[in-house]
Structure 1
Amino acid sequence: MSASPSRSVRRSAKSAKSPATAAAARQMPGPVMLDVVGHRLTSQERDRLAHPLTGAVILFARNYDSPEQLAELTAHIHEARDEPLLIAVDHEGGRVQRFRDKGFTHLPSMQDLGRYWERDPLQAMRAATEMGYVLAAELRACGVDFSFTPVLDLDYGVSKVVGTRAFHRDPRVVAMLARALIQGLSLAGMRSCGKHFPGHGFVDADSHVAIPVDERELEQIMADDAMPYGWLGAPVLSAVMPAHVIYPRVDASPAGFSKIWVQQILRQRLKYDGVVFSDDLTMEGASVAGDITARATAALSAGCDMVLVCNRPDLADTLLASLNVAASPASVARIRALKPVEPFMDWNALQSDSRYQYARDFRSQILSE
């Protein structure tokens, strides 16, 4: 890859806006998180990353070949703007782990940690912390800033899309294991994201391909599914992602498009002041809000700080060309706060780090592969 991509990105951004406007845009993260196709950036992707509305990038398994390649890709993404974009991934452990093999540790699922809790609660919390550290350390060693974890949905044994991603049925156990895992993330300088508020575990339908509806009353949800969010709060949870689930006894819109859920309940009732991400706007559960621009507008109007557009670069282009929103200083500050503060060791240094080796050994001693 040539040494000139960042210069070409800046030229394209300046051609679209006046120099003063372009400079300000490069210094401020926008409200859109988008993805890239492969192992290396294309010129079209560099242009997307330079767009003033872009604020972050989410990676997938298709973006990974090796730790070295991933580190190179993230370096080029960070270099695409004067203020580096936030780089995120869905990397939870279990079946939702985007980077596997070639050095990355196979992490247990959250349900595995919950089952370990049944045998030894205190040791399970220690295990969650060590797994959180391994998860965050490996990502940060490759230049990834943030992971959408942990899942706070309750394990009702109903939802196929949640399944083993949930710690436990008891919200108290969920909150304690999540807090322990988040401590591990923080040891590697990584923030956290609780999902899917107020809870996706009670409904069978998968919001990736359907529109789930949860008919329960508000107070039943608040007394059970939403409890981990209230107990943990913004001091522990850096971000929250609402569910693409409709709770008709509360609002006709899915939670991520609902001012009642985001502003009245999450922000006001639960006093949450961290980042609120929409779930992926290309999912079927988001289709009730209209086309991609209507979906993004609805989510941002409801109170989300950032919206995700995944696996559809055509829709990302449409949104970047059509979304008309004013930058929210509060949202910008929240998004900036998700970025790691201190640099982290590279992959080679991590492999010989005693703290990392201990965490990996701890995992192999107490959890099944």
Structure 2
Amino acid sequence: MMKAAILGIAGPSLTAAERALLAELPPTGIILFGRNIVSPPQLAALIDDLRSALPPQAVLMIDQEGGRVARMRAPHWPELPPAATLGTLYATDPEAARNAARAHGAALGAMAREAGFDIVTAPVLDVPSEGASAVIGDRAISANPVAVGVLGADIAWGLLFQGIQPVMKHLPGHGRATLDSHHALPHVDAANLDADFAPFAANRALPWGMTAHIVYDHLDPANPATFSPTIIETIIRTRIGFRGILVSDDLAMNALTGPAASRAVRALAAGCDIALFCPGDLADNRAVLEAIPDLAPGLIPRLKAPSLP
């Protein structure tokens, strides 16, 4: 069995202590960031090492959207534009924008597949509001919810075409947040969030989704979405209708408080299927893995995309 967590590792190679922990308490997967990626040969060696250290069902994930969120970077890999360029094109030529979005997703997927990943944490389906934090910014496709839903589906199609699982984020919507959840806990006090939910509802059949570390005051004033059974069940699962695998955003973000293990326990208790903890600290990784349950067995066949013919 695998523990219901996806974890980061510290550097560009797997240490002996990390390998021992993965053998003792196997997680559902590993996520890689820029600190883990130096060159194609180094990345290939690391991924081979991770595959040998993890159960065969475990997944490898990368946070790669295009624009400023890119862990595989030039000169070794292509630089893709931010998603906002697709929304700008959609305003004047929707058909060209849809073709570009599919190509964008396919390019992301091809890079990920060739490197050996299973999952890419895109598309961003947040609908930005005026005055919102720049943390989303040009990562958002458009301020038009219809464009976000359509082009987000096309990006996801491109990823799936390459055999890569997309992760839509950040449920149920990060676009109104005026604070960066990496550093502080945002509150959203708007009562009508229909426009925020719409792109996620349009893509509710996607295989993976990621929560937002945001308090929605009219839905659950006491808890951010990641820790809120009310928001996960009532909004994400029922109103939006998402039935895929729900992973938390990075539980190490400063929007949240408490020890690593308690954050993971809270996210899973609230209804997340998998806890995401990214910094790669060995002691925190162990604490998380020791505190949480195994991944639900029924989710194991759904972790990876079906094999391409």
Q: Distance in 1 between matches of 2:74 and 2:240?
A: 40
1:209 aligns with 2:183: yes
TM-score (structure 1 length as normaliser): 0.79
Q: State the Cα distance separating 1:216 from its structure 2 match.
A: 1.4
Which of 18, 34, 52 pairs up with 1:45? Answer: 18
Q: State the Cα distance separating 1:327 from its structure 2 match.
A: 4.4
Which of 232, 236, 261 pairs up with 1:266? Answer: 236
2:262 is matched with which residue?
A: 294
Secondary structure at the aligned position of 2:203 is classed as helix
Q: Distance in 2 between matches of 1:86 and 1:327?
A: 12
Could you tell me the percent identity over the aligned residues?
Answer: 35
Question: Per chain length, whose mean CA-contact separation is higher, i.e. which structure has more relative contact order (CA < 8 Å, sep 6+)?
Answer: 2
- Give the aligned residue type for 2:303: L
Asked if the contact 2:66/2:82 (under 8 Å) is kept, the reply is yes
Query: Which has the larger share of helix?
Result: 1
Asked if the contact 1:56/1:87 (under 8 Å) is kept, the reply is yes
TM-score (structure 2 length as normaliser): 0.94
Which of 200, 215, 220 pairs up with 1:246? Answer: 215
Q: In terms of Rg, which structure is larger?
A: 1
Asked if the contact 1:210/1:285 (under 8 Å) is kept, the reply is yes
Secondary structure at the aligned position of 1:31 is classed as strand
CA deviation digits over 1:6-46, x for unaligned, max 9? xxxxxxxxxxxxxxxxxxx3xxx321111112221111111
Q: Distance in 2 between matches of 1:270 and 1:151?
A: 16
1:347 is matched with which residue?
A: none
2:277 is matched with which residue?
A: 309
Q: Distance in 1 between matches of 2:249 and 2:70?
A: 17
Q: Distance in 2 between matches of 1:291 and 1:66?
A: 34
CA, structure 1 residues 84+73, in 2 after alignment: closer, same or farther (shift >3 Å)? farther
- Which deviates the most, 307-316 or 189-198? 307-316
Q: State the Cα distance separating 1:76 from its structure 2 match.
A: 1.2
Asked if the contact 1:246/1:255 (under 8 Å) is kept, the reply is yes
**Counterpart mapping for 1:15-30 below 5 A:** 25=1, 29-30=2-3
CA, structure 1 residues 84+195, in 2 after alignment: closer, same or farther (shift >3 Å)? same
Secondary structure at the aligned position of 2:157 is classed as helix
Q: State the Cα distance separating 1:214 from its structure 2 match.
A: 0.5
1:337 is matched with which residue?
A: 302
Asked if the contact 1:86/1:339 (under 8 Å) is kept, the reply is yes
**Counterpart mapping for 1:1-369 below 5 A:** 25=1, 29-52=2-25, 54-157=27-130, 158-217=132-191, 220-221=192-193, 223-234=194-205, 237-251=206-220, 252-287=222-257, 290-313=258-281, 314-321=283-290, 323-325=291-293, 327-330=295-298, 332-333=299-300, 336-342=301-307
Q: State the Cα distance separating 1:240 from its structure 2 match.
A: 1.0
CA deviation digits over 1:247-305, x for unaligned, max 9? 12111100011111111222223332100001111111122xx3222211111011101
Q: Distance in 2 between matches of 1:153 and 1:324?
A: 29
CA, structure 1 residues 269+253, in 2 after alignment: closer, same or farther (shift >3 Å)? same
Q: State the Cα distance separating 1:92 from its structure 2 match.
A: 0.2
CA deviation digits over 1:133-155, x for unaligned, max 9? 11110111011111110001112
Q: State the Cα distance separating 1:312 from its structure 2 match.
A: 4.5
- Tell me the matched-pair count: 306
- Give the aligned residue type for 1:230: A
Q: Distance in 1 between matches of 2:208 and 2:304?
A: 12
1:363 is matched with which residue?
A: none
- Give the aligned residue type for 1:73: L
